[in-house]
Amino acid sequence: MRLLLTGSSGWLGQTLAPRLQALGHDVVGLDPVPSAHTAIVGSVADREVVRSAFGGGRIQAVIHAGALHKPHIERYTASDFIATNVTGTLNLLEESIAHGVERFVFTSTTSLMISRRIRAGRAGGARQAEWMTEEMSPQPRNIYGVSKLSAEHLCRLYHEQSKLPVVVLRTGRFFPEADDMAHVIKQSDANTKANELLFRRLTVADAAEAHVVALDKAPDVGFDIFIISAPPPFSRDDRAALIDDAPAVVARYFPDYPQIYARLGWTMFDSIDRIYDPSHAARRLGFTCRTSFSELLAELRATGQG
């Protein structure tokens, strides 16, 4: 398939572009930042750039991963977020429809599901962890979330009007950098990322693979939104205990984790305030992340690091 990949110079794009090429796809990368995977250096916010991207040969599919995201909030204005994430998505949807594109995958974010109340967690008086599903009505807490939710609505609207198949992937965290709250987190970066695999993180390889599966399934799906995150071991019955004493809950599922963690000098978060449930993607897309906390622990055992 000949496809347009936006954000091709980014962290996800650099994993996804070679994966798509290995599957035999002809990938046209579009990004304002030049890279080996970017044929068109330009912005999705520029309608002429987007239009000409469809003109150079028949594009059959679009994967729209290019965005300003959370780390950019400090450096860019709200208008920049709207131009890139909302107008950019609108440009791509309209040109896709005008050029007969057959499928469209939009990279969204679980971040848009976090309201100020959910973010406050136990300190804000939460008595149990939030069980996060696609059924919730998000109330994003910042311009990044608002712009991504607006883009999701555009995806739904244009699907309804044109029947263009659109799959929205609300991915959890897969960034390699340390958390922007690292200064208040007790754990090291590797420890933090391991803990997060229990409820809010996935590997970049899994994020890329979710896009491959979404591309494949888009015509069957029509339109839908999916949370993409490593499968959590927990059940809804654990919600109160996760807020009160997360290490005890994790030890019930992984009895040897305290020993493995102790040898690494790692600790579990005291409290887990939200769990992203990726089961809708498992059921409807047939996609489950390969790497979860369970695989990570097995790896730590096998390499003797644990």
Ligand X SMILES: NC(=O)c1ccc[n+]([C@@H]2O[C@H](COP(=O)([O-])OP(=O)(O)OC[C@H]3O[C@@H](n4cnc5c(N)ncnc54)[C@H](O)[C@@H]3O)[C@@H](O)[C@H]2O)c1
Contact footprint for ligand X (CB under 6 A): 6-7, 9-13, 30-33, 43-45, 65-69, 84, 88, 107, 109, 171, 173-175
Q: Residue 79 CB, nearest distance to ligand X (Å)?
A: 13
- Between 66 and 306, whose beta carbon lies closer to ligand X? 66
Q: Which residues contact 162 (CB under 8 A, 6 or more apart)?
A: 97
- Taking CB atoms, the residue at the shortest distance from ligand X is 10
How far apart are the C-alpha atoms of 212 and 219, rounded to whole Å? 13
- Between 148 and 239, whose beta carbon lies closer to ligand X? 148
- Between 109 and 191, whose beta carbon lies closer to ligand X? 109
User: Is 68 in contact with 109 (CB distance < 8 Å)?
Assistant: no
Q: Residue 263 CB, nearest distance to ligand X (Å)?
A: 28
Q: Which residues contact 155 (CB under 8 A, 6 or more apart)?
A: 89, 93, 104, 106, 166, 168, 223
- Between 169 and 249, whose beta carbon lies closer to ligand X? 169
- Between 95 and 238, whose beta carbon lies closer to ligand X? 95
Q: Residue 82 CB, nearest distance to ligand X (Å)?
A: 11
Q: How many residues does the chain have?
A: 306
How far apart are the C-alpha atoms of 210 and 228, rounded to whole Å? 7
Q: Which residues contact 11 (CB under 8 A, 6 or more apart)?
A: 174, 175, 176, 204
How far apart are the C-alpha atoms of 162 and 241, rounded to whole Å? 46
Q: Residue 53 CB, nearest distance to ligand X (Å)?
A: 10
Q: Residue 268 CB, nearest distance to ligand X (Å)?
A: 21
